[in-house]
């Protein structure tokens, strides 16, 4: 049997607690609130004039205090709350306040209808949680972004293409992969210096971004090697895009300081069913690229399977 403790003691704890406590009766009238709870909703508790839950919220909302309610229609918001409040014996939820603090609310409902509400300040934990999730996001971005060009790196490109392939496999369409390899890049480094080579790589990235469509996937997959995935193109349309890219790079004036750096690119291309794997696409486009290099560079070659 539970040992009886003095009611006075419980009362004292509620009064001095750093957490907010409130009790609503079965008609949702506030019959008890400690100072912390009253402070959250910016009211003075008067047991002789009990106010309802709705009034408590309306009152705080009109003073721009209490829960951060992002609506112009407080009545609609209260209508929504009515659909979740008092529906379960116990409910736990986080809310942010207008003053930037975060609270963890719990609601304990008795069968007789009284509701005990507890509000615990979790601002410190929430800030840490946000910092942690921002750090994770930054780490993810770093792991997927090429530092020099800010384009998706090889890992990111592979991931994006693989998820596009599995999405498109249900529709059974054709897709295209292009691999671009800058011509004689070693001699650009040797002649103009490595920093000049870096600037050229950055500018090529800009050309790709401005020439391609927003939904095409672009990646820097190696030193002077870029790849492009075209999701919904016929082979004819894809060849036109590849040719446009080749011409655009050849026509762009790459300057380093005042020196004009001549630049062309070879492109290997393949259009295949999206049921094929990334590896199949990549090795076909790579084989076509090899042909483009072997046949003189500055050209687009399309993969043709050997019979």
Ligand X SMILES: Nc1nc2c(ncn2[C@@H]2O[C@H](COP(=O)(O)OP(=O)(O)OP(=O)(O)O)[C@@H](O)[C@H]2O)c(=O)[nH]1
Residues with a known catalytic role = 224
CA distance 209 to 215: 11
| Closer to ligand X by Cβ: residue 56 or 265 | 265
DSSP state of 235: H
Considering the rule CB under 6 A, would residue 212 count as an interface residue with ligand X?
no
Contact residue for ligand X among 198, 243, 286, 287 (CB under 6 A)? 198
Range in contact with ligand X (rule: CB under 6 A) among 9-17, 44-52, 137-145, 197-205 = 197-205
Q: How many CB atoms lie within 10 A of CB 261?
A: 17
What's CA 96's distance to the chain center, in Å? 21
| In contact, 271 and 175? CB cutoff 8 Å | yes
Considering the rule CB under 6 A, would residue 146 count as an interface residue with ligand X?
no
| Closer to ligand X by Cβ: residue 22 or 151 | 151
| Closer to ligand X by Cβ: residue 181 or 216 | 181
CA distance 62 to 55: 10
Considering the rule CB under 6 A, would residue 174 count as an interface residue with ligand X?
no
Considering the rule CB under 6 A, would residue 65 count as an interface residue with ligand X?
no
Give the nearest distance from C-beta 103 to ligand X in angstroms: 50
Considering the rule CB under 6 A, would residue 107 count as an interface residue with ligand X?
no
| Closer to ligand X by Cβ: residue 100 or 223 | 223
Contact residue for ligand X among 91, 101, 155, 184 (CB under 6 A)? 184
Query: Tokens representing 83?
Result: 């659909």
Burial 193-208 (b: 16+ CB within 10 A, else e): eeebbebbbebbbebb
Give the nearest distance from C-beta 140 to ligand X in angstroms: 22
| In contact, 193 and 259? CB cutoff 8 Å | no
Give the nearest distance from C-beta 211 to ligand X in angstroms: 20
Considering the rule CB under 6 A, would residue 201 count as an interface residue with ligand X?
yes
Tell me how many residues contact ligand X (CB under 6 A). Answer: 16
Query: Tokens representing 175?
Result: 């897709």
Considering the rule CB under 6 A, would residue 74 count as an interface residue with ligand X?
no
Considering the rule CB under 6 A, would residue 154 count as an interface residue with ligand X?
no
Give the nearest distance from C-beta 92 to ligand X in angstroms: 51
| Closer to ligand X by Cβ: residue 235 or 264 | 264
Give the nearest distance from C-beta 293 to ligand X in angstroms: 5
Alpha helices in the chain (DSSP H): 7-16, 35-40, 53-62, 74-84, 123-144, 154-169, 185-192, 194-211, 235-251, 278-294
Which residues, 248 to 307, sit near ligand X by CB under 6 A? 293, 297
Give the nearest distance from C-beta 238 to ligand X in angstroms: 22
| Closer to ligand X by Cβ: residue 113 or 223 | 223
CA distances from 48 to 29, 39, 42, 53 (A): 11, 19, 18, 16
300: left (phi over 0), alpha (psi -120 to 50) or beta: beta
CA distance 221 to 241: 19
Burial of residue 112 (number of CB atoms within 10 Å: 0-12, 13-18, 19+): exposed
Residues at the site binding ligand X, with contacts judged by CB under 6 A: 148, 181-186, 189, 194, 197-198, 201, 223-224, 293, 297
């Amino acid at each position: 049997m539970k040992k009886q403790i003095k009611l006075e003691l419980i009362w004292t704890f509620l009064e001095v607690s750093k957490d907010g406590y409130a009790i609503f009766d079965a008609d949702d009238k506030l019959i008890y609130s400690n100072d912390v709870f009253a402070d959250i909703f910016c009211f003075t508790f008067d047991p002789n004039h009990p106010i309802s839950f709705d009034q408590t919220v309306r009152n705080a909302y009109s003073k721009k205090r209490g829960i951060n309610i992002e609506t112009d229609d407080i009545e609609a918001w209260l209508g929504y709350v009515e659909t979740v409040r008092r529906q379960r014996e116990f409910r736990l939820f986080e809310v942010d306040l207008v003053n930037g603090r975060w609270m963890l609310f719990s609601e304990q409902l008795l069968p007789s209808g009284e509701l005990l509400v507890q509000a615990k300040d979790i601002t410190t934990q929430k800030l840490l949680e946000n910092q942690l999730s921002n750090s994770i996001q930054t780490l993810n971005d770093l792991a997927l972004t090429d530092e020099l060009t800010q384009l998706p790196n090889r890992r990111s490109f592979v991931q994006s293409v693989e998820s596009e392939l599995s999405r498109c496999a249900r529709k059974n369409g054709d897709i295209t992969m292009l691999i671009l390899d800058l011509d004689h890049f070693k001699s650009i480094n040797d002649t103009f210096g490595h920093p000049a080579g870096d600037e050229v790589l950055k500018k090529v990235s800009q050309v790709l971004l401005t020439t391609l469509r927003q939904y095409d996937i672009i990646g820097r997959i190696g030193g002077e090697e870029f790849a492009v995935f075209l999701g919904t193109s016929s082979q004819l349309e894809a060849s036109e895009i590849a040719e446009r890219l080749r011409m655009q790079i050849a026509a762009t004036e790459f300057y380093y300081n005042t020196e004009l750096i001549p630049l062309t690119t070879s492109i290997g291309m393949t259009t295949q069913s999206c049921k094929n794997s990334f590896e199949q696409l990549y090795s076909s486009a790579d084989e076509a690229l090899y042909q483009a290099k072997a046949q003189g560079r500055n050209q687009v070659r399309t993969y043709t399977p050997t019979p």
